[in-house]
Structure 1
Amino acid sequence: MGDTRLIHGRYRLLDLIGRGGMGEVWRARDESLGRQVAVKCLKPLGSGHDQSFGRVLRERFRREARVAAALQHRGITVVHDFGESDGVLYLVMELLQGRNLSQLLEDNKQHPLPVEQIVDIAEQVAAALAYTHDQGVVHRDLKPANIVRTADGTVKICDFGIARLGHDIGFTSRLTGTGVAMGTPHYMSPEQISGSPVDRRSDLYSFGCVLYEIATGVPPFDLDDAWAVLVGHRDTPPRPPRTHRAELPEQLDRIILDLLAKDPAARPDTARELSRRLAALRAGPLVVPGSAGEPVSGAAPATQDRAGPPGRTRPGWAERAALPPGEGLPSGEGRVTAGETEAAAAERAAGAAPAAGGRRAGTGRPARLPSWTRGMTTGHKTAGGTLRTTPPDPAAGLSGEWIPRPAADPRADRSVPDDLPTPSPETLTALAARHNAGLSLGRLGRWAEAEEVHRAVAAERRRLLGPEHPDTLAGRYEVAFALSRTGRAAEALQEYKQVAEARIRALGADHPDTLAARQEMAYVLAQLGRAFDAHQVYLSVLSARERTMGPDHPDTLRCRHNLAFNLGRLGRLEDSCGMAREVARARARVLGPTHPDTLVSRCEVAYTLGLLGRWQEALDIYREVAEARAAVLGPDHPDTLAARYEIGISLGRLGHITRALEHYRELVRDRTRVQGPTHPETLRARHGVGVNLGRLGRWEEALAESREVCALRESTLGPDHPDTLVSRREVAVGLGWLGRWAEALTEYRSVAEARERVLGPDHPDTLASRDDEAQCLQQLGRDTEAVDLYRQVAALRRRATADGR
């Protein structure tokens, strides 16, 4: 099949991406629609089958393919087409960018996945199974290799109907002398083994085996002999998962064991029931093993995703309060801040962190951690030599900015009405689904829509659950996050403050959720140009994290990472670089040298080296990070592409302009293939192309590229988005170099007015734009206006300095 390179005159086979007992899977291009697809080619029938069998098989194939193609759910791989070509049956499916669960475990050296990822996977798969079972479709061969987590955190089930086809064709293995048909023995239900009829509960058993493995690192019956494995499934009670991994929540342990009941009637009856139990796991107080029986506030029920769990939405894994793309860089060249725009907004300045050693499937927004995974110690001793700064007294005020303080009784002011109606489980589940839809919109960069969804869900939860219920506050937290992503930092700050105030009353000042909201406050303070206030909040949060979690806990290290970045904003570049290096070393020790968080901190070191003018050192680090990410996450992972972007910036700063231009063009091609032509990061790479065309003096080409990127950013991100304004400024730069100063003035003024409207008149970015405007006025000979504008800018800068910004 690979020799023909073309299937049915339409699907061009490009490269082999998988091979198994059923056949081969190819990455292919649909020549008719110009899109990338996956083509699964089933093995041709051997000579031992007669023609009548072949006809029956083809009819069965068409029937099963139609069933698979009719399944329309975000958690199921889409089947686009099917047919037969040169005697080979084929299916055309969506091409998934991600890793299946077997690969995730291999990536993690067979260590179990972080708890928040397990629950996220469980909820997403349960939702997909509930849908398919409602359609009367049973998978029959659920296993880690058939469950894929995509780059944006979505979990998808693959190969519906394929297992039954394989059995008919004779591709499944058989146990010698037993006559028992085997799919994959480690995940087979007792009724499959005994040859009894199977229904939806067989899928639930197989999925219980999958959950057991990703929660413990081993399948429930980890034996070398296939027959012994089958006997184990049929006759032997599995060891509780917590005997392998003591920190697993008791409720999760119970759910997995119930799924593994030998009698189908003893299992959850439906996947929908499983979903309700998972939601209840999040909604009620949880006792974390090792917490001396202390309850931890539960999470908002949801079926989220973001590489993260459905439930209570945890602040993202953000690492740094990034400069608005392009600001503070010559020629307005935007830079992707490691871990902010790439590891998906994945690394925001929030409090949650993955369990040590856990892996993110990072983009979009990676996993939010439920409260029961927070505060777990890593078992490492305090690192020495850490750059310390004495935190302020939380009771002493914060340059006019609020720091939460606990009341005498942290729960004394909950102001929850006593007469709230008891909402039905169906209502809560529906709200959770809407909450997750908002998260999905955010992962797609549709932040304005995400804000609307989260605002509506938060209002409904407030009405049903009360203003200070954790789910209500989780929704408001998401509103604030969406506001910060659309440039409305002042509104986001007010929302975060109110969430933090409510959480401190309900949970206490040192609760991880409270600290997460405060850390986000620091992030938006930095967005507003208030780097000193952000610094004070980061110090206060860091002090609390070190006291309650320990200096080496991933959340503590994340806060120190944010503090290091903010030191750079304060102009303390050497301190920033030193702290970032120490965080990178600590993360390498705690999480491993190639863990995504470790690599993000190494990127921070490189970024600060660049600000210090040490671009060759920065380039060397970015190359090492890119190589490590390609090996660990794959060459097309957003984090890998982000590191490649930074390589382009470093090449340009070192004067290797032609190499930088070629590098960016390659990156544009790869980003277009992986993420699409209008994805924000594709446009960011195209912006780099325009910048370097200008550096080569090819200003007509540079201007054309900048105009096109600006138009695309305006239509996809909005006219006032920081990236759009960076592109508009680049348009002005090109017009100026071409001597078209009157047109350049219009663009510079437009950027300045937008930044003033969004950020305020004395924000550093606004003032930089006003300087651009004044320089343009000088070029036009309007010196008096230019001098007046310079004076206004100088006065605003003095005022900002006097205010401590």
Structure 2
Amino acid sequence: MADTRLIQGRYQLLDLIGRGGMGEVWRARDDALGRHVAVKCLKPMGRQHEQSYLRVLRERFRREARVAASLQHRGITVVHDFGESEGVLYLVMELLDGRNLSQLLEDNKQHPLPVPEVIEIAEQVGAALAYTHRQGIVHRDLKPANIVRLGDGTVKICDFGIARLGHDIGFSARLTGTGIAMGTPHYMSPEQIGAGNVDHRSDLYSLGCVLYEIATGAPPFDMDDAWAVLVGHRDTPPRPPRELRPELPEGFERVVLDLLAKDPGDRPEDAADLVRRVAELPPPRAHSALRPPAAGTLPEGRPRPVRAYVRLPEPPRLPGWARDMTTGSKAAGAAPLQPSPDPAAALTGAWTGPGEEGRATPAPTGTPRVAAAERPPPPDVLAELAGRHSEGLRLARLDRWAEAGEVQRALVAERERLLGSDHPDTLASRYEVGFALSRLGRPGDALREFTLTAAGRERTLGPEHPETLAARQETAYVLGQLGRHVEAHQVYVAVLASRERAMGTDHPDTLRCRHNLAFNLSRLGRLEESYGMACEVAAARGRVLGPEHPDTLVTRYEVGYALGQLGRWTEALRTYQDVAAVRARVLGPDDPDTLAARYEAGICLGRLGRSTEALELYRELVEDRTRAQGPAHPDTLRARHGLGVNLGRLGRWEEALAEARDVCAIRARVLGADHPDTLVSRREVAVGLGWLGRWSDALAVYRDVAQARQRVLGADHPDALASRHDEAHCLEQLGRSAEAVELYRQVAALRRTRATRGRQLRGSEPPGRPVS
């Protein structure tokens, strides 16, 4: 490859940084996008090799490209491009700034890694494997040289060169039938050695070998003779790791020995089960490392990544499935890189880079990259666009979200044409479009806009720029609106890690993200964790911003919400009353936040059975909100809704039904017929009809609400399922028991499917019932 300096007229080869049995890895420059990448090239073969052998190698290389390019996970190396140029097959990947686990052990003079790092690596690799196995892909060559730890603590699996698609058995047989060695002896599973059926559990065995080695300093069968190693894997029980390193947690030893079970059926069920078990381990002791980490393994001046329960003052421990959520790697820069000291190292496991930030990320599928015009627009045109943007923001401040969204949507089109899709101004308008859609009850559309904004900002500003993180955080918010709280949790955890790393634990933006994370935990049914985190954020904000700062009061408000979800309504009422009093003094009695705290106090009174007091509070609140915000303002209508609910609790159902119908009509006109608040009011109409014995009328309304929620939120959203449950109850009241039973069965099946998907995404224990 020394005389081939340019690949496909685009990738300029700069330095050889790795060489293995199948080819070479070069640090290269992508001239089209101006970024540094790693290019893996199939080593040229002489005529002495049989054509059938070359065909197998070429097919394996192409297959690696297809498999690797299909994987999109932060724990897996990103593949940008692949192809063939002048007879040379090439694969273009992100250039990793880190060291593979073999190199980390070498740096540490073959001493084992510190226990907290071992557990961290186990969680992150387990999460990445859980993802790949769900895609039907088995790696089949997991080893320390194929696992890279980046400077920011992210762990990535590399080299899917002999991975296989689980369903593609016939094709695998054609590849392996040539007698080419598949796998590395020290990390091969017994079924690989015996040419048995290989599935995802083989990867779990290999991971057990890797964890054994980084935890003890040597693989489980550390012999020079390859045949002796293979026999050890097949026939010999491994020595318990704690005999070699007593300070290893007993639970961790049990996990490793289970991974190393000879029979695949005796291993953990899947990688998600592994991650859950590792996450449940008690915190490792601070003195558990035999040696301090080698100098230079992390960038100078950056705090060493540690687990969430260490970084924060006694917070609830974050689950292991979320620990791999980081902002990803940064591309290597122009400084020269040294070739791997081990020429036989794995092709994708040896490169490092000193760190030019701002790795370009591919645009989402189906999203064209629009280049800026060759000539910048005239200043007066830019000024006119900026003025329209400001007008859109003004409309948003007035809660005129539909108008604000239309202004910004038109600006996106014009700015994209004049400036390019990734220009900060274009992305600013797209962000505001997403914001408007979110407030208009269209979370699915908002998610698309925020996702595009976040991807564009990551390309132009970098993955940890505050504006990139703001867009990602809004993505999490609308995922929560869609009932996709597990995915929202993952995004919040990732953004929080970035904010803590870049800004520190007490920065206001970091605390805002933790506040959102606490809120989302309550939606996952993890109420005690939500309450604990909200209390911590409230204390931190009080310390940093002051006890009467609006942000501090927002989190105290969230503490009240968590108390209510825990059924501690008396404490919740007292918290809301305190917040309302402080807000009235600091912000004024008619400030929307003051009125919001009073509204929540009314909810607490109703829950405590004090509906007469709640009714009086809501009557006053309706008057105050009408005066301050207008009769058709969403918050005014929310207060009227609360008034109607308490009329019903007092048995005044005719009045309650009239109030619900009036509020529903106004909400439909102001917010739209399918807005979540409108649907809540329509459901309240059905409730009133049912209490008045008008079950046929109630059934028609319940069905309308269920269909609308399914259309807007999805069939398995908690609110949609609740509406189907209401419909079934109504059928029961009408004596249509068979239809009711069938509908109950459908709802139960959807809930089970949703719970299963949540566990797969989370890789942890199932959450409690989502709170609507």
Q: TM-score range by the shorter chain?
A: 0.5 to 0.7
Distance 1:419-1:658 versus aligned 2 partners, 3 A rule: closer
Q: Distance in 1 between matches of 2:749 and 2:567?
A: 29
Name 1:608's counterpart in structure 2: 562
Q: Distance in 1 between matches of 2:330 and 2:709?
A: 37
- Sequence identity (%): 68
TM-aligned CA deviation for residue 425 of structure 1: 2.2
Contact 1:406 1:504 in 2 (8 A): no
Distance 1:690-1:462 versus aligned 2 partners, 3 A rule: same
Q: Distance in 2 between matches of 1:407 and 1:523?
A: 29
Q: How does 1:175-324 map to 2 (within 5 A)?
A: none
Contact 1:411 1:506 in 2 (8 A): no
Which digits, 9 at most, give the CA deviation of each residue in 1:498-539, with x for residues without a partner? 211111111111111111111111111111211111111111
1:750 aligns with 2:679: no
TM-aligned CA deviation for residue 471 of structure 1: 0.6
Name 1:589's counterpart in structure 2: 543
- DSSP-derived class of the 1:803 partner: helix
Q: How does 1:502-651 map to 2 (within 5 A)?
A: 502-651=456-605
1:729 aligns with 2:683: yes
Letter in 2 for 1:713: R
Tell me which of 461, 467, 471 is aligned to 2:415: 461
Which digits, 9 at most, give the CA deviation of each residue in 1:201-241, with x for residues without a partner? xxxxxxxxxxxxxxxxxxxxxxxxxxxxxxxxxxxxxxxxx
Name 1:485's counterpart in structure 2: 439
Letter in 2 for 1:427: V
- TM-score between both structures, scaled by the size of structure 2: 0.53
Distance 1:392-1:435 versus aligned 2 partners, 3 A rule: farther
Name 2:651's counterpart in structure 1: 697
Letter in 2 for 1:726: V
Letter in 2 for 1:651: L
Name 1:773's counterpart in structure 2: 727
TM-aligned CA deviation for residue 384 of structure 1: 3.1
Q: Distance in 2 between matches of 1:412 and 1:727?
A: 46
Name 1:384's counterpart in structure 2: 313
Distance 1:559-1:732 versus aligned 2 partners, 3 A rule: same
Contact 2:534 2:556 in 1 (8 A): yes
Contact 1:391 1:536 in 2 (8 A): no
Letter in 1 for 2:598: R
TM-aligned CA deviation for residue 390 of structure 1: 6.3
TM-aligned CA deviation for residue 490 of structure 1: 2.1
Specify every segment of 5 or more residues in structure 1 that has no aligned partner in the other structure, as ranges: 1-381
- DSSP-derived class of the 2:758 partner: coil
Distance 1:527-1:393 versus aligned 2 partners, 3 A rule: closer
Contact 1:510 1:548 in 2 (8 A): yes
Distance 1:516-1:726 versus aligned 2 partners, 3 A rule: same
Distance 1:390-1:405 versus aligned 2 partners, 3 A rule: farther
Tell me which of 422, 444, 450 is aligned to 2:404: 450
Tell me which of 737, 761, 766 is aligned to 2:715: 761
Q: Distance in 2 between matches of 1:560 and 1:451?
A: 28
Letter in 2 for 1:540: A
TM-aligned CA deviation for residue 392 of structure 1: 5.8
Letter in 2 for 1:586: A
- DSSP-derived class of the 1:804 partner: helix
Q: Distance in 1 between matches of 2:637 and 2:724?
A: 25
Which digits, 9 at most, give the CA deviation of each residue in 1:322-381, with x for residues without a partner? xxxxxxxxxxxxxxxxxxxxxxxxxxxxxxxxxxxxxxxxxxxxxxxxxxxxxxxxxxxx
Q: Distance in 2 between matches of 1:614 and 1:688?
A: 20
TM-aligned CA deviation for residue 587 of structure 1: 0.3
Distance 1:548-1:389 versus aligned 2 partners, 3 A rule: same
Q: How does 1:106-185 map to 2 (within 5 A)?
A: none
Q: Distance in 2 between matches of 1:390 and 1:778?
A: 41
Letter in 2 for 1:477: Y
Contact 1:645 1:667 in 2 (8 A): yes
Q: Distance in 1 between matches of 2:322 and 2:550?
A: 33
Q: Distance in 1 between matches of 2:629 and 2:480?
A: 29
Distance 1:762-1:406 versus aligned 2 partners, 3 A rule: farther
Q: Distance in 1 between matches of 2:577 and 2:673?
A: 34
Tell me which of 750, 753, 759 is aligned to 1:796: 750
1:471 aligns with 2:445: no
Specify every segment of 5 or more residues in structure 2 that has no aligned partner in the other structure, as ranges: 1-310, 333-356, 363-368, 760-772
Contact 1:623 1:647 in 2 (8 A): yes
- TM-score between both structures, scaled by the size of structure 1: 0.50
Task: Count the aligned residue pairs.
Answer: 420
Letter in 2 for 1:663: L
Q: Distance in 1 between matches of 2:361 and 2:539?
A: 42
Letter in 2 for 1:545: R
Contact 1:404 1:504 in 2 (8 A): no
Contact 2:647 2:655 in 1 (8 A): yes
Q: Distance in 1 between matches of 2:738 and 2:361?
A: 59
1:410 aligns with 2:410: no
TM-aligned CA deviation for residue 452 of structure 1: 1.8
Q: Distance in 1 between matches of 2:398 and 2:442?
A: 18
Letter in 2 for 1:777: L
- DSSP-derived class of the 2:318 partner: coil
Tell me which of 682, 686, 690 is aligned to 2:636: 682
TM-aligned CA deviation for residue 656 of structure 1: 0.8
TM-aligned CA deviation for residue 683 of structure 1: 0.7
Q: Distance in 1 between matches of 2:702 and 2:635?
A: 24
Letter in 2 for 1:389: L
Letter in 1 for 2:685: V
Q: Distance in 2 between matches of 1:707 and 1:698?
A: 15
1:652 aligns with 2:606: yes
- DSSP-derived class of the 1:529 partner: coil
Tell me which of 486, 492, 500 is aligned to 2:454: 500
Contact 2:506 2:540 in 1 (8 A): yes
TM-aligned CA deviation for residue 419 of structure 1: 4.3
Contact 1:457 1:475 in 2 (8 A): yes
Tell me which of 669, 677, 681 is aligned to 1:715: 669
Letter in 1 for 2:318: T
Contact 2:530 2:562 in 1 (8 A): yes
TM-aligned CA deviation for residue 410 of structure 1: 2.2
- Larger of the two Rg values belongs to structure: 2
Letter in 2 for 1:715: R
Distance 1:427-1:391 versus aligned 2 partners, 3 A rule: farther
Which digits, 9 at most, give the CA deviation of each residue in 1:724-750, with x for residues without a partner? 111101110000000011111111111
TM-aligned CA deviation for residue 393 of structure 1: 7.4
Which digits, 9 at most, give the CA deviation of each residue in 1:746-795, with x for residues without a partner? 11111111100100111111000000011011111111111111111111
Letter in 1 for 2:398: L
Distance 1:413-1:803 versus aligned 2 partners, 3 A rule: closer
Contact 1:411 1:507 in 2 (8 A): no
1:668 aligns with 2:622: yes
Q: Distance in 2 between matches of 1:393 and 1:650?
A: 33
Q: Distance in 1 between matches of 2:401 and 2:449?
A: 16
Distance 1:572-1:742 versus aligned 2 partners, 3 A rule: same
Which digits, 9 at most, give the CA deviation of each residue in 1:109-142, with x for residues without a partner? xxxxxxxxxxxxxxxxxxxxxxxxxxxxxxxxxx
Which digits, 9 at most, give the CA deviation of each residue in 1:382-409, with x for residues without a partner? 8733445267678x689xxxx7765556
Name 1:423's counterpart in structure 2: 377
Name 1:365's counterpart in structure 2: none
Q: Distance in 1 between matches of 2:532 and 2:599?
A: 24
TM-aligned CA deviation for residue 458 of structure 1: 1.0
TM-aligned CA deviation for residue 451 of structure 1: 2.0
Q: Distance in 1 between matches of 2:531 and 2:580?
A: 20
Q: Distance in 1 between matches of 2:650 and 2:322?
A: 53
Distance 1:507-1:788 versus aligned 2 partners, 3 A rule: same
Moved more, 520-529 or 756-765: 520-529
Letter in 1 for 2:560: A
Contact 2:412 2:430 in 1 (8 A): yes
TM-aligned CA deviation for residue 416 of structure 1: 6.6
